[in-house]
Every structure is written in C-alpha cells, then in structure tokens.
Amino acid sequence: MNESDITWDVYEAPIGPLMVIAGPAGLRGLWFPGKTPAPPEEARAPLPAVTEQLDAYFAGELRAFDLDLDMRGTPLDREVWRRLLDIPYGKTESYGELASRVDPDLFRTDCEPWQRARAVGAANGRNPVSIIVPCHRVIGADGSLTGYGGGLHRKQALLELEGSGRPDPAWTTRQTSLL
C-alpha cells in the first residue's frame, strides 16, 4: 500500500475500535486492533461517509453498505469477498456453501473439492474490510461459530445485532463489556 495516497482514522464501534483505511479508489481496510500497523499520523483524517454508514449499521438502521471498495487480493480472494456481499443481512452461510458458489477454476489445481471450504475460509480470513464485507456471516457446517479476526465474541455480537435488526438499548453496553 502506498502510504502517500491513503487516509485513515479510528472508528469507535460498540464492539471496540476499528481502524479505517481508504485510498483514492475506495475503502481498503477496516481492521480490529492489532491486525495492521497504523499508517503515518499525518495521513489521519475523518472519513465521514464510512463513519455515517457504520453508525447507522450499529444502530440497526442500515442493512447494506454503499461504499466504494479498493480491496486487493488474489482472484480467489476477490471472488470470495464478492460472494460475501451476497449473503443477506441477518443470514449466515457455511464455508462449504460459500465454496460451492465460487468458480472452481479459481481454486489451485491441487485443491480437491472437499478442500475448497478451507481455501474459502482462508480467503475469508484475509478479508481486509470486515463488517462491511460481511465475513462474520460465514459459520461452520454444523452451525458453530468458527474463525473471526476480531474474535468469536465480536462475531457473535455482530450476528446478534443482525438477528434482531435493531439492537435493544442494552446491546452496546453488553457488547462493550465483552472487550
């Protein structure tokens, strides 16, 4: 990432601070603490379009984000991330279900069909724009919560938020206390 063309800020979410990184072509990252180094302080500036939509999401008022994204990864990564955007608010999908929707030609030639869910899980884990590209909506085949860069407690909190559509008044306090 060329640091001279980015802007960043920290968004104080109910589930903890999130580092927001944007470039000229769109949002490049939404990271939980410790997942990426902070860019230079002189590049820090408000990102109101992102902040407003995150505020609305956490208030239970926004179900789909409308932001330009500038996500960089392999062709498989980008396809998995694109498919994540197809999982509706309040719904979940297993890694295997997600893998079945990805073009088989994007997997390595030595990746057997039964291994594709793991490859999709790895691509899901490389998602640089969590929450907005809803990697938290992917769960284990048995319905269990598995793998989330922000921790399973945050994944659970996001799924709870989306499950009701609107947080109850105690939601923010309860989620913040988990941190």
Instruction: Output the CA torsion 52→57→58→59 (10° steps).
Output: 90
Cite the DSSP H helix spans in the chain.
48-58, 75-84, 95-100, 116-125, 152-164, 171-177
Q: Which residues are catalytic?
A: 135
Measured CA to CA, the distance from residue 174 to residue 21 in angstroms comes to 27
What is the chain's Cα-based Rg? 16
Token output for 56: 């609305």
Which residues sit opposite 44 in a β-bridge?
8
